[in-house]
Amino acid sequence: MKKEQIIIIGAGPCGLSAGLALKEKGFDPLVIEKENVAHSIYRYPAHQTFFSSSDKLEIGGYPFPSIERKPKRHEALVYYRTVADRSELRIHSYEKVVKVSPEEQTFLLETVTKTQERKQYRAKYVIVATGYYDHPNMMGIEGEELPHVFHYFKEAHPYYNQNVTVIGGKNSAVDAALALEQAGAHVTVIYRGDRFSEAVKPWILPDFHSLVRRDKITMHFNANVTKITKTHVYFEKEGTSYHIPADFVFAMTGYHPDHSFLQKIGVDMDEETGRPTYDEETMESNVDGLFIAGVIAAGNDANEIFIENGRFHGDKIVQAIIKKERNRDA
């Protein structure tokens, strides 16, 4: 069993930022990541452009140069890989933390590597920075698990001249629909709301509405998908049932944190918001010595915390750990 002072679960931007803040103060945290550095950003669409300017995505004082003011996905991947290299953070990639057990003044962590090797660690402090992008919101309908139904959109080329249904009304749905139409897919968008989410980037909506007016995209508001088969999508709209042909389906219905992982550790959770209990001044949860960092702190509201503000959680955590260490030595 390996003993560590501090273990960070998750090597996304906020997990890396917490590690850098700790390292600056003389700590040597271990970062454990079930995939690889910045995996959530890797899962973004290939053409993705960030909302934020590159300076607001910087961590650890490392400058983030980008071609445009707002960087693209591939630039962010290069940046966070470079930071990981230059900072010499200790990162165990492709190792999944499957269990965290609080014990007296310590935690027991159990992990599984990509080769199915099982490991154990003991740590005085644990920081959970697992994000939310790995857990899609499921609709709970028949056919949602079929192989032609996806919850992530990468690129549009494979869907040229195919009937594609996009489910959702936020940024990911609108972005996917635009890219698919541009690649020559026959696109239908189905959304349960009567208008798009206010969080949708306003500069992309005129293009979308223009395509709808010109019958390049078919749009259904106030519609609820009821079933997906190998060949069709079924939905209800204003009391009437419809079904449309669909070779592929993108269910862009959003994502949520892994609530059960935190709850099993003992972290209290608001059932309605999915927000974990933590001190906003220190980011420490109700479990002594266990901290929350990044978007997971926002619960189900992914629009509350971004890389922009989540990158500063590490500063709060390191100050809290320093204080705890002083109190223990006193």
The DSSP string of 110-178 is EEEETT--EEEEEEEEEEE---STTSBPP---BTTTSTTEES----SGGGTT-EEEEE-SSHHHHHHHH
% of the chain at pLDDT higher than 70: 99
Tens-place pLDDT, residues 155-177: 999 999 999 999 999 989 999 99
Q: For residue 323, what are the contacts with CB-CB under 8 A and spacing of at least 6?
A: none
Confidence of residue 135 (pLDDT cuts 50, 70, 90): confident
pLDDT given at position 7: 98
Highest average pLDDT, of 39-48, 285-294, 305-314, comes from 285-294
The C-alpha angle 130, 132, 137, rounded to 5 degrees, equals 150
Asked whether 127 and 15 are in contact (CB, 8 A), the reply is yes
Tens-place pLDDT, residues 34-54: 999 999 999 999 888 888 899
Confidence of residue 85 (pLDDT cuts 50, 70, 90): very high
Q: Give the count of beta carbons closer than 10 Å to the beta carbon of residue 99.
A: 13
* Residue of higher predicted confidence among 114 and 310: 114
Of 40, 1, 25, 23, the closest CA to residue 91 belongs to 23
Q: Which fold has domain 2-135+255-329?
A: FAD/NAD(P)-binding domain (3.50.50)
Question: Does position 301 have pLDDT exceeding 90, yes or no?
Answer: no
Confidence of residue 272 (pLDDT cuts 50, 70, 90): confident
| Residue indicated by tokens 């999944």 | 96
Q: What are phi and psi of 87, to 5 degrees?
A: -80, -20
CB crowding 189-220: b at 16 or more within 10 Å, else e: bbbbeeebeeebeeeeeeebeebbeeeebebb
What are the start-end ranges of the H helices in the chain? 13-24, 39-42, 73-87, 171-182, 205-213, 259-265, 307-310, 313-329
Note the CATH number of domain 149-251. Answer: 3.50.50.60
Which amino acid, residue 190?
Answer: I
For residue 42, what are the CA distances in angstroms to 51, 70, 127? 16, 17, 22
Mean pLDDT, range 17-38, rounded to an integer: 97
pLDDT given at position 256: 84
Q: What are the residue ranges of CATH 3.50.50.60 in the chain?
A: 2-135+255-329, 149-251
Q: For residue 280, what are the contacts with CB-CB under 8 A and spacing of at least 6?
A: none
Question: Does position 305 have pLDDT exceeding 80, yes or no?
Answer: no
pLDDT given at position 330: 62
pLDDT given at position 218: 97
